[in-house]
Amino acid sequence: MTYRPPFVDEKSIKVSAPHPATLEDDDLLKVCETETGRISGPGGQHRNKVDTAVWITHTPTGVEGHAGERRSQIQNRARALFRLKLKLAIKVRTIVSRDGHVPSELWKRRRQGEKLPVNPEHEDYPALLAEALDVVTVRRYDMAGAAGILGVTMSQLSRLIRHERHAFAKVNEGREACGLTRLRS
């Protein structure tokens, strides 16, 4: 078997561990800038009277999450933070060992045998997605190899990634760049 070096995704932003999507909300907000404002859209007569829209920018990477669909700034802040974590999970890669990666405590705690039950709206989803994408990327988009390292089935790993369409598209782009077939949706 010939040696294949780890794949380096040139489009991703590289950061050292820990991945920003895995940070607690308060720790992540320490390295972010938060802005509030008004946006147009549905919401009734009080929609534009207060600054309920929220934009959160991760300063080291420039990745931004925003929300403005609720009338409550607190609810919009929580949605914006979740969306920021999702975008960070997709756009930012941390360097992991190609063959020696040990799944995180969160991954081990959420895994049930070879299954990984997680709702894409759950607060743990961005951190799990980030870890999965880090391993899949370093394994040159070999889903079976990545699933083996993470201790889940290939279908469970694919399902985790497929829940987020931008992550799924990114994996398929990487697979094509490595000469592999696209995953079916």
Secondary structure (H, E, C), the chain: CCCCCCCCCCCCEEECCCCHHHCCHHHHHCCEEEEEECCCCCCCCCCCCCCCEEEEEECCCCEEEEECCCCCHHHHHHHHHHHHHHHHHHHEEECCCCCCCCCCHHHHHHCECCECCCCCCCCCHHHHHHHHHHHHHHCCCCHHHHHHHHCCCHHHHHHHHHCCHHHHHHHHHHHHHCCCCCCCC
At residue 41, does pLDDT exceed 90? Answer: no
Q: What's the pLDDT band for 1 if we cut at 50, 70, 90?
A: very low
How do residues 122-171 score in pLDDT, each as one tens digit?
999 999 999 999 999 999 999 999 999 999 999 999 999 999 999 999 99
The pTM of this model reads: 0.88
Domains and CATH numbers, the chain: 22-91 (3.30.160.20), 94-177 (no CATH)
